Amino acid sequence: MARYNTHQKTAIISFFTEHQTKSYSAEEVSSYLPAIPRSTLYRLLSQLSAEGIIRQETGVDRTSLYRHLGSGCPEHMHIRCCRCGRTEHLDAETTRLIEKLVASSSGFEALDSTIFEGLCSDCMKERK
Confidence band (pLDDT; 50, 70, 90) for 74? low
Cα 90 to Cα 93: distance, rounded to the nearest angstrom: 8
Q: Which domains does the chain have, with CATH numbers?
A: 7-68 (1.10.10.10), 73-127 (3.30.1490.190)
Residue 73 has pLDDT above 80, yes or no: no
Beta-carbon count within 10 A of 27 CB:
10
Please state whether the predicted TM-score (pTM) of the whole model is above 0.85. no
- Is 78 within 8 Å of 89 (Cβ atoms)? yes
Predicted confidence at residue 2, as pLDDT, reads 47
Q: Is 48 helix (H, G, I), strand (E, B) or coil?
A: helix
Residue 65, beta-bridge partner list: 25, 57
Find the mean pLDDT for residues 80-108: 85
Residue 124 has pLDDT above 70, yes or no: yes
Confidence band (pLDDT; 50, 70, 90) for 91? confident
- Is 76 within 8 Å of 90 (Cβ atoms)? yes
Confidence band (pLDDT; 50, 70, 90) for 15? very high
Cα 87 to Cα 80: distance, rounded to the nearest angstrom: 4
- Is 20 within 8 Å of 42 (Cβ atoms)? no
Cα 16 to Cα 55: distance, rounded to the nearest angstrom: 10
pLDDT digit string, tens, across residues 21-46: 788 999 999 999 999 999 999 999 99
Please state which of the ranges 26-40, 43-57, 70-84 shows the lowest mean pLDDT: 70-84
